[in-house]
Amino acid sequence: MALDWTPLWLTFKVAALTTVILLIVGTPLALWLAFSRSRWRFLFEALIALPLVLPPTVLGFYLLIAMAPDSPIGQLYAALFPDRTLPFSFEGVVVASVLYSLPFAVQPLMHAFEQVGEKPLQAAAVLGAGPWTRFWKVLVPLSRHGFLIAATLAFAHTVGEFGVVLMVGGNIPGVTQVASIAIYDHVENMEYTQAHMLSAVLLIFSFAVLALVYRLNRSWGRLDG
């Protein structure tokens, strides 16, 4: 019995796309959280951390409601892409994954930015460097481990999601049936061999990713300290 690559490839596509979107969206959010002196900062921190504690089904349920074709978001999406809908589609799964994994990207970035602090950025400013230069030449290199950890965790956490995808995407092979859902499906159908193979792949992958993150954390910590 050969390993079915379709759900694994789909999982990879969802996770990779989610990671890219999260780095683009998460960086300005983390910047604001790290350097803002707003008194309402804590509210945004709590909002972004919500997916950590919320049952995935709750998030999935609200997303399903929000994406419904008669909702404002659903109508906007229909206006932009007439032939498509968000629920039970690949795009819907990616949108759900971005929200679900948001804290895993934003929090490491925020901590890295806070650790760098304002001092090197002020130093760069009084040397004549504008905001863009300060970001690319000072902040990004000094917080590079934060970016690496954010990307790794966002990717790994998206690979590990189940409830949100099931609620928003359903179980459509080749479209929304990611590896975790395929395993569930195999077990339901008593196909233990396939379930074994997919589970082993995910187990080894997850362990390798976590080992890498902890390894990076240690060596970067030593380098910076």
Partner 1 sequence: MAKLRFELTHQRGEFVLNAAATLPEAGVTMLFGPSGSGKSTLLMALAGLLHGEGVVAHGDQCWQASARRCFVPPHRRPLSVVFQDGRLFEHMSVEENLRFAWQHGHGATPIAWDVVVDGLGIAPWLKRRPQQLSGGQRQRVALARGLLVRPAWLFLDEPLSALDAPARSEILALLEGLKADLELPMLWVTHSIEEVERLGDQVVFMDSGQLQPPQSLQAAIRQPGTPLFREEAPVALLTGTVSVPCDGYGLSQLQLGESRLFAHAVTAPIGTNVRLRVPAASVTLSRAPLEETSALNQLPAQVMSLGEVQGHQQLVTLALADGQTLLAQVTRRSLQMLDLQPGEQIWAVIKAVSVL
Give the residues lining the site for partner 1 (CB under 8 A).
119-120, 122-131, 133-134, 137-138, 141-142, 224
Nearest distance from C-beta of residue 207 to partner 1, angstroms: 31
Which segments of the chain does DSSP mark as H helices, in order?
A: 5-35, 41-53, 56-67, 72-80, 90-116, 119-125, 131-133, 140-142, 144-159, 163-169, 179-188, 192-224
Nearest distance from C-beta of residue 140 to partner 1, angstroms: 10
Instruction: Tell me the three state secondary structure of residue 180.
Output: helix
Place of tokens 């233990």: 192
Nearer to partner 1, 142 or 187 (CB): 142
Nearer to partner 1, 131 or 173 (CB): 131
Nearer to partner 1, 84 or 137 (CB): 137
Nearer to partner 1, 139 or 182 (CB): 139
Residues whose CB is less than 8 angstroms from the CB of residue 187 and which lie 6 or more positions away in sequence, other chains included: 195
Nearest distance from C-beta of residue 137 to partner 1, angstroms: 7
- 8 A C-beta contact, residue 161 and residue 180: yes
Compute CA 115 distance to the chain's CA centroid, rounded to the nearest angstrom.
Answer: 22
Nearer to partner 1, 65 or 123 (CB): 123
Per-residue 3-state assignment (H helix, E strand, C coil) for 104-143 = HHHHHHHHHHHHHCCHHHHHHHCCCCCHHHHHHHHHHHHC
Nearest distance from C-beta of residue 7 to partner 1, angstroms: 41
Nearer to partner 1, 80 or 222 (CB): 222
How far is 171 from 185, CA to CA, in rounded Å? 8
Nearest distance from C-beta of residue 113 to partner 1, angstroms: 15
Nearest distance from C-beta of residue 128 to partner 1, angstroms: 4
- 8 A C-beta contact, residue 153 and residue 26: no
